[in-house]
Amino acid sequence: MDRTVFGTYHPLMRILFLAAETAPFVTVGGLSQVTKFLSRALIGHGYDVRVFTPFYGSIDREELESHWKLSGQGKILQVPASTVGVPRSVSKEGEDEMESVECGVVSYVGGDDDPQVTFLQNREYYELRANVFGYADDHVRFALMSKGCLEWLLTIDEARRNGDKEVWWPDVIHCHDWHAGYFVDLARRDPRYCQVLKDVAIVFTVHNFRYQGNGEMRYLPSDERDDGLEQIAAFDDPRLLKQNPLRRGLLYSDAVTTVSPTHALEVLTEEYAEGLLDTLVQVRGRLSGILNGLDTEKFNPGRDPYVKRHYSRRRFVSARGANKMDLQRQFSLPMDREVPLLGYVGRLDQQKGLDLLVESVGRLMEERDDVQLVVVGGGDDRYRRELDDLRSRFSDRVGLHLLPDFHIMPRKIFAGADLILIPSHFEPGGIVALEALRYGAVPLVRRTGGLNDSVEDFDPDTRQGNGFSFRGLDAWSMFAALVEALTVYRQPSLWHRLVENAMSCDFSWDYAAIEYGDWYARVLSSRKPPLKLNILSRIKKTL
């Protein structure tokens, strides 16, 4: 297969993703979407991608096996509980130390565009749990995931050494978020694994620096914070809880990305580093940012089953007007195509800028009676109360659905609202802006993280740009951006050009895959000669 990425030839580069969640099997946050769609996009570019993840109790085995086929025979692993050569903490009298955890591994294959997925099975830590995250022993569960993956790789290496030339072996292992940080450390420093993986590139993507382990690591006293130097503790050792897997992933990986170029710069400041500034400065030469993509098949106003009237970037005025009135009807607001309709989709918390939204929109509605607002999302009770108060003050102009909804209502809002408000205090990726742009709902954002990389201010003179933005972390800055946006809205020819610009943006996963492919290539080129020779020999065989 002949594939070129930025002028570099990469036939059959083999990539292993290690992640705590992947769609369609489990979907808790954006990580599951990244592992699904990035892996599929990379496969479309000729990469051989596989995924390793736990088999949770919430996975419907019958549904899984109706769409995916079992690949090969499963394996039973005895996963060591402790790191080789690390002294155990003193156990309580009469209490046995944990020596190992028995796990199964089983692989499934889907369609041609799907990666092979290998699941780590264990009843106690995964299959008997109702949820994916949120347990007191999450640090143990994901240390087990990491070490289980390493033990599985040891079985593959043994098959290689026994002469099996058909066995699959990764060129790059791509670890995602703190859950996989244990893997990075163990793969590079534990004698049981480091020699086996010395020629494999290990890269690390941080989707949100706020989450650094099973606890609030950044609030620990400075003398209790993990410096990343001590070896990973055993599963049943209380020291494991205070070891910071995110820091360790940063320290010991070959390269690090976050989910937007701007956020890669932001985290090099005290404001955004979440207590990891010293580590991030230390690894800044290996740090870069790649903007996430969007599932353009799912988010498609031309075929979306939840949208009342379908449309395209060439023909949208009438359909979006009809969708607006349908949205107004569902929220019991006066139905009027001409009224500017503002929308918010997301969690109700301070990170998302709900404090700025409530205050600025409240002031706007005090000054003018021709603006409506609809909100979808669940979260902090403080913002529920403040939004309820806003609705009580402006009952005929504010509609609320204060429950989490990741499927139907957001797309109805994208298809009918004129402006999507995203006033985030910080936003590593900013997927909501990409979804809004796809549907022609103009984003109004605070200029931070991925929002800075995806939204360009509209210029009425040149008619270039796809949205509006503000920089200040205060309601008056947002209020000024709202006034600017509504001024453009009252000029239909300008507004229609702006909507067309928004819908013309291409943030598909295809572009993200190209950037990730180039990133893998740069990391591989910086590795030891034996790895480069392995790649070159494989290239020659395909010529």
Asked whether this chain's domains 4-293+510-542 and 317-504 adopt the same fold, the reply is: yes
User: Region 214-236: what's the mean pLDDT?
Assistant: 88
User: Region 403-414: what's the mean pLDDT?
Assistant: 90
Per-residue H/E/C for 286-325: HEEECCCCECCCCCCCCCCCCCCCCCCCCCCHHHHHHHHH
Task: Judge whether residue 311 has pLDDT over 60.
Answer: yes
Burial call 180-219: b when 16+ CB within 10 Å, e when fewer: bbbbbbbbbbbebbeebbebbbbbbbbbbbbbbbbeebee
Architecture of domain 4-293+510-542: 3-Layer(aba) Sandwich (3.40)
Instruction: Dump pLDDT digits (tens) for 54-83.
Output: 999 999 988 899 899 999 888 999 999 987
Residue 347, judged by CB atoms within 10 A of its CB (0-12, 13-18, 19+), counts as: middle
Find residue 78's DSSP bridge partners: 102
pLDDT at 260: 95
- On whether the CB atoms of residues 420 and 443 are closer than 8 A, the answer is yes
pLDDT at 216: 81
Using the 8-state DSSP alphabet, how is residue 228 labeled?
A: S
CB atoms within 10 A of CB 368: 10
CA dihedral sign of residues 61, 64, 69, 70: negative
- On whether the CB atoms of residues 440 and 502 are closer than 8 A, the answer is yes
d(CA 112, CA 315): 34
Using the 8-state DSSP alphabet, how is residue 231 labeled?
A: P
Find residue 77's DSSP bridge partners: 103
Q: Which two tokens mark 7?
A: 């002028």
d(CA 7, CA 12): 16
Q: Residue 263 — φ and ψ, nearest 5°?
A: -65, -30
pLDDT at 30: 82
User: So where are the chain's domains?
Assistant: 4-293+510-542, 317-504
d(CA 91, CA 241): 16
Residue 55, judged by CB atoms within 10 A of its CB (0-12, 13-18, 19+), counts as: buried
DSSP, collapsed to helix, strand or coil, labels residue 167 as: coil
Instruction: Dump pLDDT digits (tens) for 354-387.
Output: 999 999 999 999 999 999 999 999 999 999 999 9
pLDDT at 87: 58
User: Region 131-154: what's the mean pLDDT?
Assistant: 96
Q: Which residue, among 499, 495, 475, 485, has the nearest Cα to 414 in the 3D structure?
A: 499
User: Region 269-287: what's the mean pLDDT?
Assistant: 95
Element spanning 462, H or E? none
Residue type, 431: I
Q: Which two tokens mark 251?
A: 């320290």
Output helix, strand, coil percentages for the chain, rounded to the nearest 5.
Answer: 40, 20, 40
CATH topology of domain 317-504: Rossmann fold (3.40.50)
Instruction: Dump pLDDT digits (tens) for 170-212.
Output: 999 999 999 999 999 999 999 999 999 999 999 999 999 999 9
- On whether the CB atoms of residues 149 and 120 are closer than 8 A, the answer is yes
Q: How confident is the model at residue 528 (pLDDT cuts 50, 70, 90)?
A: low
User: Region 376-402: what's the mean pLDDT?
Assistant: 96
Tell me the pTM.
Answer: 0.89
pLDDT at 289: 97
d(CA 423, CA 471): 9
pLDDT at 88: 54
pLDDT at 73: 83
pLDDT at 12: 66
d(CA 3, CA 46): 6
d(CA 470, CA 352): 14
Our CA angle for 348, 136, 235, nearest 5°, is 135
Q: How confident is the model at residue 537 (pLDDT cuts 50, 70, 90)?
A: very low
